[in-house]
Structure 1
Amino acid sequence: MDSTSYTAPGPDAIEEVGRSRGGLQVLLGPLLNYRRMSNVESGEPMWHGSVLIVTTPGQNSPGLTLSPVGAISAEDANATFTVQGGVNSPGEKLYEDADKAFWRFLLELPMQKFESRWEYKINGLEYVDKEMTTKPQTFVVPSVAQSMRIMFHSCNGFSVGTDVEAWSGPALWNDVLRMHAQKPFHVMIGGGDQIYNDSVRVDGPLRPWTDISNPHKRREFPFGEKMRAECDEYYFNNYVKWYGHAPFSTANGQIPQLNIWDDHDIIDGFGSYTDHFMRCPVFRGIGGVAHKYYLLFQHHLAPPKATFTTDAPDTIHPEVEAKPTDPVQTRETFVMADDVEDPSYIIGNKPGPYVEERSRNMFCQLGRRIAFCGLDARTERTRHQINYPDTYKLIFDRLDKEFAANKELKHLILLLGVPIAYPRLQWLENIFASPLIAPIKFLNKRFGFGGSIFNKFDGNVDLLDDLDDHYTAHQHKHERKDLVHMLQNLSKKHSIRITILGGDVHLAAVGRFYSNPKLGISAENDFRYMPNVVSSAITNKPPPQAVANLLARRNKIHHLDHDTDETLLEIFDRDPGKGDKANGASNGNGAANGNGTANGTPIEPKTSAKNHATMPSRNYAIIAESNLPPTPASSTAPPATLAAPTLEPSSASQTPSRATTSAPPDPKGNARKPMHDGEQGAGTAHPAANGLTETGLCGPFGLDVTLRVEITNSDKEGHTDGYGFSVPALEVGEAYADQGSKW
C-alpha cells in the first residue's frame, strides 16, 4: 500500500463494505501494548499486554488466538514451551457509536527460560482497505533471566506547515524495523506526541474559532455539541490515518507499546498558555476529546462516557467525582463501564485543571532487572505547575514499595515528556516576556504585524509556550529541583541507578546530573549520576542548525545545589554519515558511504565544528543491558550468579568484557567530556553505537544506550548512524553513605 496517500475511509465506504462482506470489518489495527509483569516473586513471571482493533459498528464479538512460535536464539531451538498450542482471547468492546467500535484483547502468557517469539491472529479479520494485509502478527518476549531491550521515541508527527514529502514522511520507522529484524525490541516507549493533532485549528473544526481576532471573544466562544462532534470526528480520523500509516503501522502490531502523552497529542502548547485562556470552553472541550482517544488508541482503555460541552455544562466539573453524563453524547453509544483498573497505573487523586480527568502515571517491570515509571506531565500541567505535589507522593510511595519488595531490580527508567537536564534558556524567556515585546504585540493585535511570531491562541510569542513547557523554565525551577532530590533519595536508599528519558525538543542530546567532582565520587558509586537521554524527534523535522548550535553554546556547568552539577555530554564526535566508515552507520543499502555523501548526494552539515552536544537530526534511542550473561534453557539461575560472558569486541573497540570502578572525575577537568569508563569514547566509535552489541563495559547490571540519528532526510528508507555510551549500575556502599553532610 502507498501509505503516504492513505486516508481514513468515509461513512459511505464503510456502509458499502458492511453490506458486501461477511467478515470482521476492520478500520485500523492491530495495535499491540505491553502492560506489566506479574507473579515475579515466584520465579515464574507472567507477561501482560493487550491488542486493539477498530471495526465498523454492529460486529459480533471477535476472537484472538495467541500461540508460541519458537525461540529467538539458535542455541534454544529445541527448547520446549511451558504452554502448547494456541490460547484464545475473547474481544472486549470498549466503545461503540454509529461509526466505529473499539475491541480489546487482553494477553497473558508465561515467560520462558529462553527469549521467545509469539504469534497472534484475529479470527475472521478483513480490512476495509483491501490492500491491508491480514497475516498473523508476531512479537518477542524476553526470557525469565533477561531485561527488556527497549526502543524509545518521541514527536512522531509533523508540525503544521511542514513539507512532509521533503522529509520523507515517517522514514525512520523503516530503520526501527530493520534493527528489530536483526535483534528484536521487547518494548517501545512513546515519550509523548505519538500523534500531531495541531491541524484541527488549521484545516479542522477549530479553524473558525482560531480565526476570531478578538481574544475576549475567542475565550468566551462556546464549545457546543456540534463543535464537540466535529472535533470528535477529526481526532478519530487523524488517529486512523496516522496509526494506519506504514511503516509506523507495521511497528504498532509487532513491538509492544508503552506511552505517555504530551501537548501535540491534544494541540500544540496545551497546558502552557495563560490560565484564564486555558480555562475557556474550547480548550476544556478539546482536552476532553483528545483524552478520550488517547485512552482508546494509546492505552486500550474505555473513555469517560461524556466530555465537556457548553450545551451540557455539568458533564465535567473538576470538583465533582461522580460526573453526570450527557444524554446527547451517549445516545446510541456503548461505553464499557465495569473495566478493572490495571495495577500498572498510578492514578492522580484529583482531576487536572484543563483536562478535567485524573492523571494516569505508570509503573511496570521491564524484564528481570529494569523498572519503568512514566509521569503523566500533561494532565495536571499549567503554566506554573507540571504535577500536583500529592501526585509526586503517590508515585514515589509506589516506587519505594516496589524497590523494597524486589531487590533484583537494578535500574529505573524514568520517562518525562520533556528533558530535565538541559541548557537554560531563561534569557530567551525574559526577552519574549519583557515590556520590549509589548509594542509589537499591540501592532499584531491591531494590524497583524509580525503575525508569524505570535500564536493564534493567547497572542503571546509563539515559542513562549514551548519554553514554558521545559523543566528548566524559571517558573518550574523549584518543582524541578524537588523532583531531582526525590530521585536522588530513592536512588541512594535502594542503590538503584536512574536513567531519565525525555523528548519534545526535536534534537538528540545526553544530559547528566552528577555529584560535584570536589566530592571525589566515582560514577559507579554516585547516586546523583543520572543520565537524561534526549531523543526527539523520530518524525518531525529538527530545528535549524543555528538553534542547535546556540543550545550547545549554552551548555554550561550548572549547579543544581551545593553537591549536584549538571551538563550535556559531548557525544557527537562527527555528523552522521561523515568521516570514515562509521561503526553503526546503516550504509549497507547505499544510503551513506562514510565519506559525506548519501546515494551520491553530499550530506549537508548538521552542526558547527564546535558543537558536539546537540544534534538537529531525526533520531530514536535503543537501551539494553550492557552485559547479558548466558542463560541456557535448562537454567533458571539469576544472572548475578553466573559468570560474566565472553563477548566478541566490536570493530570499533577492543574493550574487554568486564566492569571496573572508574576514577573519580577530576575537579579541574571538563565535565562535558566523558567522566567514567562507560562514557569513554562516547559517540560513533563507542561499542554501543551499533545498537546490537552488548558491550560489557558496565558489567551485568549496566546499560548500553544508542542514539540512532538520521543521515539525510532525503533517504526514504531512513538510514541512520549510531552514537553510543554506557551507564554503570549503582553501588552506593557504606563508605559513601556515612559521609554525613555530603549526602
Structure 2
Amino acid sequence: MSGKIIVGPILGFRGLKEGRWYTSALLVLRGEATPPKLTISINPTNQFEAEAFLLKTYADYFVWRLDWWIVQTDKEQKINYIVNNDQNYYYVVPAQNSNPRICYGSCFGVYNLKDLNKVRKKNALWKILHRVHQEKPYHLFFLGGDQIYSDQVWDAIKPLREWLSKSLKKRLQAPFTNDMQQQVEQFYFKLYLHMWGQKQPAAMLSQIPTLMMWDDHDIFDGWGSYTPEQQACAVFQGIYAQAREHFRLFQLQAKDNYDLGSAALFGKEGYTYAHHLGDLALVALDLRSERTQNQVMSPETWYQLQLWLNNLQNPSESTPCKHLLVMSGISIVNADLTLLEAAINLEPGQQRMEDDLKDQWLSLAHHEERLRLIQSLFQFSREAGCRVTIVSGDAHVAFTGYLESKSNSTTNEEANIINQLTSSAMVNLPPPTLVLYMMEKLLAGKTEKVNATITARLSYFPGTNRRLLGSRNWLSLTIDEQSSISAEWYVEGEIKPHAKVIPPFKS
C-alpha cells in the first residue's frame, strides 16, 4: 500500500507526438515508498495504468510522476482517471487537428504576510476559473511565472537573517553551510506543498495539464539583476540551487534538466522550451536561469531558439505553424520606465521598485537583447507566414499592446504587427491607485521608438477608456480552425470578460 497523498495530482503536459497527447501527474506521498496507482479510463472497456517514476525522496515524503498518453480522435475526449482506487478525476483531450483551449495566469502568491492580510479573497480568481472550466473545459493551463513567492526565505531561516546582518564584504566571503542548505531545502519543499495543496488551486491543477515557466519570485526577488559579486557568492548560489531543483521538480515535473517530454529544450543552463502542436506552436522563454545585469538569455539559447524557428518555417513541414505563442513572463511591450530607472541609483535588492525596473525588457541594460528578440519574431512571422502573439504577466495589471514594423521587406503587411496580451496577477495585489494613475497618465499613452523601423505602443484595454487595468485577472485563449485567437480577460468583480480578437494571416 502506498503512503498518504499530501499533494496532487497535478497534471503536466508532456507533448504531442504522432497523434498522441502525452500527460503526466505529480503526486507527493508520505509514509510509504510504494508507488501510487493511477488508472486511466477512456471508457468502461478501455482502462490502463500510468507508469510511475520516483523523482525525489525527502525525509518520509516521496515525489512521484506518473506518465501516460491518449490517442487523439476526431472528437474531444473527456478522460477519467482514479488515484489509488479512491479519488476520481478527469481532464479533457482536444480533438485531432484542432487547437487546444488555453488559460493563462501569473503571480499566484504575495510577497509577505503583511500583503496577505490585504487580500480579501485570496483564491477568488481560481474559483472563477473553475466555473468557466466547467462550462467549457480548457486543454492546457499556462502558468507564466511567480507560481510561488519565496522572498520570505530571508526572514524564515535564522542563518540567512544572520548572514544579512553582516557587512557586504563578509557576506560575499561567507560559505553556504550545511545548516543553511538543509533549512533552505525544507523551506522550498514545504512552500510548494502549501501552494499546491490549497483547495481551489489543487482542484484546477488536477483537471488541466499545465505548462509552467518561472520568474524571480520562484527563486527570490530580483534574481539575476544583482551585482556579479552577489550573484556568484556561495549563499546566493546555494539558495538558487535549491530553488532550481524545486522548480524543476514541482513545476516542470522533471527528474533532471533534460526530462521535458517531447518539448524542444534550448541552451545548457536554462529551461527555455517549445512545443509544436499542429497549427499552433508555443515558446516559453526562461528569463531567469541565465540572467545577469547585462544578459537575459545566453548566446547558446539564442542560437538554438533561432534554429528551432528556422525549422518551424520549413515549407516541407507537414503541419506548418499558423500561430506562434511566445510566453514571456516579463512584458516585451510596456510603459517605458527607463527614465524612472535612470533616476534610481540604488544597489539591487534595497528596494522592490528598483529590482522590478532592472528586470524589465525595457531596462537600458537589456535594450539590444530585446531588439534581437523583436527582430527575430518579425523575421519569422514574415518568412513563415505565421501570426506571432506574445503572452506575458509579472506587472500586476492587465493590458494589451503591439509592436509595429515599417519594414518594406514583406508583401504581407499583417506580418508587420505583433500583438501582446498581458495578464497579472491572479492572486497578488495590483499597484497602489496613485501609482497606477501616474503610469496611465504619464507613461502608458506614449509610443516607444524601438529602432528606426519598429515602434511599440499600449492599446486601450478592451471595453474601457484606459490602457492599464488594475484588478486581479486571468486570461482565456480560444483558437479557432483558422487560428484566430479570441482572448478574454476574466477580472475580479466583473461579470463579463474583456474580449479581444487577433485574426490569423489571410490565406
- Whether contact under 8 Å (2:227, 2:293) holds in the other structure is yes
Equivalent residue in structure 2 for 1:111, among 72, 82, 89: 72
Residue matched to 1:329: none
Equivalent residue in structure 2 for 1:724, among 492, 499, 502: 499
Q: Structure 2 matches for 1:333-732, cutoff 5 A?
A: 342-349=261-268, 358-366=269-277, 368-404=278-314, 405-433=317-345, 460-516=350-406, 525-552=413-440, 553-555=442-444, 556-574=446-464, 612-625=466-479, 627-628=480-481, 700-711=482-493, 721-731=496-506
Q: Residues 340 and 262 from structure 1, CA distance in 2 versus in 1: closer, same or farther, beyond 3 angstroms?
A: closer
- Flag the structure with higher strand content: 2
Alignment partners' CA distance in 1, 2:310 and 2:239: 36
Q: Residues 29 and 724 from structure 1, CA distance in 2 versus in 1: closer, same or farther, beyond 3 angstroms?
A: same
Alignment partners' CA distance in 2, 1:203 and 1:246: 24
Q: Provide structure 1 residue ranges, at least 5 long, that are not aligned to the other structure.
A: 1-21, 40-44, 70-82, 125-133, 305-338, 350-357, 438-453, 575-610, 629-699, 712-718, 734-743
Please state how far the C-alpha of 1:303 moved relative to its aligned partner: 4.6
Q: Residues 402 and 475 from structure 1, CA distance in 2 versus in 1: closer, same or farther, beyond 3 angstroms?
A: same
Q: Structure 2 matches for 1:59-138, cutoff 5 A?
A: 59-68=33-42, 84-124=45-85, 134-138=86-90
- Whether contact under 8 Å (2:252, 2:260) holds in the other structure is no
Please state how far the C-alpha of 1:60 moved relative to its aligned partner: 1.7
Residue matched to 1:183: 136
Alignment partners' CA distance in 2, 1:503 and 1:529: 20
Alignment partners' CA distance in 2, 1:461 and 1:617: 23
Post-superposition Cα deviations, 1:574-618, rounded to whole Å, max 9, x if no partner, equal: 4xxxxxxxxxxxxxxxxxxxxxxxxxxxxxxxxxxxx61001111
SS at match of 1:291: helix
Post-superposition Cα deviations, 1:628-682, rounded to whole Å, max 9, x if no partner, equal: 4xxxxxxxxxxxxxxxxxxxxxxxxxxxxxxxxxxxxxxxxxxxxxxxxxxxxxx
Q: Provide structure 2 residue ranges, at least 5 long, that are not aligned to the other structure.
A: none
Please state how far the C-alpha of 1:178 moved relative to its aligned partner: 0.5
Alignment partners' CA distance in 1, 2:433 and 2:164: 32
| Aligned residue identity for 2:152 | S
The yes-or-no answer on 1:195 pairing with 2:148 is yes
Percent of aligned positions that are identical: 27
Post-superposition Cα deviations, 1:416-448, rounded to whole Å, max 9, x if no partner, equal: 120001111111111112xxx7xxxxxxxxxxx
Residue matched to 2:8: 29
The yes-or-no answer on 1:240 pairing with 2:152 is no
Q: Residues 727 and 54 from structure 1, CA distance in 2 versus in 1: closer, same or farther, beyond 3 angstroms?
A: same
Post-superposition Cα deviations, 1:202-246, rounded to whole Å, max 9, x if no partner, equal: 233565246405222222232111110111011111100111012
| Aligned residue identity for 1:86 | Q
| Aligned residue identity for 2:341 | E
SS at match of 2:96: coil
- Whether contact under 8 Å (1:510, 1:568) holds in the other structure is yes
Post-superposition Cα deviations, 1:166-205, rounded to whole Å, max 9, x if no partner, equal: 3311220000001101111110101111111111112335
Residue matched to 1:265: 218
Alignment partners' CA distance in 2, 1:176 and 1:224: 43
Q: Residues 31 and 190 from structure 1, CA distance in 2 versus in 1: closer, same or farther, beyond 3 angstroms?
A: same
Equivalent residue in structure 2 for 1:142, among 77, 94, 103: 94
Residue matched to 2:234: 281
Alignment partners' CA distance in 2, 1:624 and 1:254: 18
The TM-score normalised by the length of structure 1 is: 0.65
Please state how far the C-alpha of 1:165 moved relative to its aligned partner: 6.0
SS at match of 1:91: strand
Alignment partners' CA distance in 2, 1:190 and 1:280: 30
Please state how far the C-alpha of 1:546 moved relative to its aligned partner: 2.1
Larger Rg computed on CA atoms:
1
RMSD: 2.3
Please state how far the C-alpha of 1:412 moved relative to its aligned partner: 0.4
- Whether contact under 8 Å (1:64, 1:122) holds in the other structure is yes
Alignment partners' CA distance in 1, 2:403 and 2:294: 23
- Whether contact under 8 Å (1:514, 1:526) holds in the other structure is no
Alignment partners' CA distance in 2, 1:172 and 1:413: 23
Alignment partners' CA distance in 2, 1:206 and 1:406: 57
- Whether contact under 8 Å (1:34, 1:258) holds in the other structure is yes
Please state how far the C-alpha of 1:459 moved relative to its aligned partner: 5.8
| Aligned residue identity for 1:51 | A
Alignment partners' CA distance in 2, 1:252 and 1:341: 18
- Whether contact under 8 Å (1:57, 1:97) holds in the other structure is no
Q: Residues 397 and 548 from structure 1, CA distance in 2 versus in 1: closer, same or farther, beyond 3 angstroms?
A: same
Q: Residues 54 and 730 from structure 1, CA distance in 2 versus in 1: closer, same or farther, beyond 3 angstroms?
A: same
Residue matched to 2:17: 38
| Aligned residue identity for 1:60 | T
Please state how far the C-alpha of 1:363 moved relative to its aligned partner: 1.1
Please state how far the C-alpha of 1:384 moved relative to its aligned partner: 1.4
Post-superposition Cα deviations, 1:265-286, rounded to whole Å, max 9, x if no partner, equal: 1111111111111111111001
Please state how far the C-alpha of 1:403 moved relative to its aligned partner: 3.5
SS at match of 1:29: strand
SS at match of 1:118: strand
Alignment partners' CA distance in 2, 1:88 and 1:116: 18
| Aligned residue identity for 1:61 | P
Please state how far the C-alpha of 1:380 moved relative to its aligned partner: 0.2
SS at match of 1:235: helix
- Whether contact under 8 Å (1:205, 1:231) holds in the other structure is no
Q: How many pairs does the alignment contain?
A: 502
- Whether contact under 8 Å (2:122, 2:427) holds in the other structure is yes
The yes-or-no answer on 1:219 pairing with 2:1 is no
Q: Residues 106 and 390 from structure 1, CA distance in 2 versus in 1: closer, same or farther, beyond 3 angstroms?
A: same
Equivalent residue in structure 2 for 1:154, among 106, 110, 115: 106
More deviation, 397-406/232-241: 397-406
SS at match of 1:136: strand
- Whether contact under 8 Å (2:2, 2:32) holds in the other structure is no
| Aligned residue identity for 1:359 | G
- Whether contact under 8 Å (1:381, 1:387) holds in the other structure is yes
- Whether contact under 8 Å (1:515, 1:526) holds in the other structure is no
SS at match of 1:148: coil
Alignment partners' CA distance in 2, 1:182 and 1:205: 48
Q: Structure 2 matches for 1:284-363, cutoff 5 A?
A: 284-303=237-256, 342-349=261-268, 358-363=269-274
Alignment partners' CA distance in 2, 1:496 and 1:103: 39
